Structure 1
Amino acid sequence: MQNLLNRHTDEVGITTLTLSQPERRNSLSFSMLDALGESLTDIAEDSATRVVVIAAEGKVFCAGHDLKEIRDQLDSYDFQLALFKRCSEVMQQVVNLQKPVIARVAGVATAAGCQLVASCDLAVAESSARFATPGVNIGLFCSTPMVALSRNVSRKHAMEMLLTGEMISAARAEQIGLVNRVVDETLLDDTVYGMARTIAQKSGHTVKIGKGAFYKQLEMPLAGAYDYTAEVMAENLRAHDAQEGICAFLDKRKPEWKDS
């Protein structure tokens, strides 16, 4: 795994997962997906991790699936299906992880690489970054990347990317909601880790509740979403951190979180 993905946790609980195969454009080969999935499984149980950053080495954030690997298995439907299902599982791990995940995007993110960016809770890109879902250009529509993309940008913007296969700039990605912020490359780390540190200072229990509720209510009709989130808030108020936070605010002091 070390040659594929590096993992580091700092003193405030920010764990960085770095895709580390720049010579292969950090492609999501079966082995890279396994490495990423296994790390996310570990992080889910790691109380020291409060926020996750997904980064990459080199000039390409992630070029999507390894087309050479796919070509070598063109006659194996079972392999292809297993690959796309494994990728789908990993993307869902990112969404379902009870800790915020931030994409640190330097360079190009295409196809399943763009899907990875869209699957993260937040994304910060350097100004020269570019994004695309170019499968249509090679006869393989980006159908699984479409799932994450269409849940982050409007239908027409998603369809434009999917049907044209054209690269879009970081500025355009920010405009349509694919990324949160675009910054000069010299400010990328300060912005990403500044955001991560801000989140890491919050109650981990509260963030966990909020992230889970956010994605669940998105799939509900309006009335059901309000019913569900009312119950979530009432249950949230029973937690130590909510009661401590309210009292600390009223007492004009800093709260002492217990992540419970």
Structure 2
Amino acid sequence: MNIKYKIIQNSIALVTINEPKTYNSLSFKNLSDLIKVFKKLDKDKKIKVIILEGAGKGFSAGHNLKEVKSLKVKNKYQKLFNLCSKLMLQIVEGKKPVIAKVHGAAYAAGCQLVASCDLAYSTKDALFATPGVNIGLFCSTPMVAVSRKIQRKPMMKMLLTGEPIKADYAKELGLINDCFPKSKLNNEVLKVAKKIASKSNLTIKIGKQAFYKQLEMPLSKAYAYTSKMMTLNMMAMDAQEGISAFLQKRKPVWKNR
């Protein structure tokens, strides 16, 4: 299995795409295995945060072009792109925050994967691209995730030229949260993961779901929906505990209920 995961810091899962020989390509098998792992971790009550990384020289170069070329028929292409979309939706709609830890290149569907994660951090020398136009295959599915993170003009430039952007510019555009020297990336990502893991699981789950849903709504509907979600959150034991702890100047004890 090319998709591995291990539990670190008791409540953080580190998922690794471990197929460096194909630059961690998102093949049928790797996509299917990633979906299985994310679903499994989503159900695991001990896991509070998921970190996603690639093995070898870089994060992911996207689809395996040898596999893509071999498919030949329409329904197989459709199946592959649908499966890829299913993975992205699993990450966005899952209950646990997902952090992309990026080094090397994140290209095409690999860039889509970074954009689909809730947070993303990279090395200073990381590169991000939607280069499909260079091989006559416009990055139409990758642009769905990336265009929801960055503005239209830089997005169109990435799509129309196929040129990669550097980590500093990716940060400026909002594709990633921050970038660090290679030696610091792991510790910086862990620092953020631990901070999130210290919060109430239930609160994070409610908040993550509400965040993505309200983005797609008109303003008045978004306020009506989030008012309901705030009320739902307020009825939870953890909200009562959190407010009490704040007023009593003590650390909250979360029950995740």
Same fold (TM over 0.5): yes
Inter-partner Cα distance in structure 2 for 1:33 and 1:246: 41
| Pairwise CA distance, 1:105 | 0.2
Aligned counterpart, 2:190: 193
Most deviating of 156-165 and 108-117: 156-165
Most deviating of 56-65 and 108-117: 56-65
Aligned counterpart, 1:250: 247
Aligned counterpart, 1:117: 114
2:103 pairs with 1:106: yes
Aligned counterpart, 2:156: 159
2:41 pairs with 1:43: yes
Matched residue type, 1:94? I
Matched residue type, 1:80? Y
Aligned counterpart, 2:4: 6
Q: Which runs of 4+ in 1 moved over 4 A?
A: none
Q: After TM superposition, list the pairs within 5 Å mapping 1:77-226 onto structure 2.
A: 77-226=74-223
Aligned residues with identical type, % of pairs:
51
1:63–1:111 CA contact under 8 A, matched in 2: yes
1:12–1:197 CA contact under 8 A, matched in 2: no
Q: Where do 5+ consecutive residues of structure 1 fail to align?
A: none
1:98–1:208 CA contact under 8 A, matched in 2: yes
Matched residue type, 2:144? V
| Pairwise CA distance, 1:159 | 1.0
Aligned counterpart, 1:62: 60
Inter-partner Cα distance in structure 2 for 1:163 and 1:223: 35
Secondary structure of 1:61's counterpart equals coil
TM-score normalised by structure 1 residue count: 0.98
Inter-partner Cα distance in structure 1 for 2:30 and 2:95: 22
Size of the aligned set, in residue pairs, is 257
| Pairwise CA distance, 1:78 | 1.1
Q: Where do 5+ consecutive residues of structure 2 fail to align?
A: none
| Pairwise CA distance, 1:12 | 3.0
Instruction: Pick one of 70, 73, 76 that aligns with 1:72.
Output: 70
Inter-partner Cα distance in structure 2 for 1:10 and 1:113: 24
Inter-partner Cα distance in structure 1 for 2:151 and 2:4: 34
Inter-partner Cα distance in structure 2 for 1:200 and 1:227: 29
1:109–1:131 CA contact under 8 A, matched in 2: yes
| Pairwise CA distance, 1:11 | 3.6
Inter-partner Cα distance in structure 2 for 1:44 and 1:52: 9
Inter-partner Cα distance in structure 2 for 1:12 and 1:206: 19
